[in-house]
Amino acid sequence: MRKIAIALTTAAALLAGPALEARSRQTPEQELAKMLEGREPGQPRHCISQYEARDVRVIDGTALVFGWGNTIWVNVPRNAKDVDSDDVLLTRNYGGQFCSLDIVQTLDRSSMIFNGSISLGDFVPYRRVKEAR
């Protein structure tokens, strides 16, 4: 019985590997496009409030996506190639909002040592499109 359990566990682990690998094969651009499915862009803004900027997701080398629900905000930094989901983002906020040209410092996740900075661009809102009934 023990040999069967070990064989099943091993088989499950071997089968899970390709599934996880297939999921990670999306390019950053494809990942962003999937997030934006069913949404349409609005007028870009120079600043958004801290409330609107919570729940940030980092799309490697592409963009920062803020918010959740009906409206998400996409920010393509001026040096987007430096955006890395393995980094920790360090922001200094003085007015209760994030604005274009704000500088976000990046820290290495394992050592917490400063390793660069990102210059924010404009914030583009993407709102869910209401379905016609």
Express each pLDDT in 2-16 by its tens digit: 555 444 455 555 555
Contact 85, 118 (CB under 8 A): no
Helix (H, G, I), strand (E, B) or coil at 81: helix
The tokens describing 34, both together, are 């999937």
Q: What pLDDT score was predicted for residue 7?
A: 45
In DSSP terms, 106 is beta-bridged to 89, 116
**C-alpha span between 130 and 61 (Å, rounded):** 31
Helix (H, G, I), strand (E, B) or coil at 116: strand
Sequence spans of domains, the chain: 2-128
For the chain, which ranges sit under pLDDT 70? 1-24, 132-133
Q: What pLDDT score was predicted for residue 92?
A: 84
Phi, psi of 59 (to 5 degrees): -105, 110
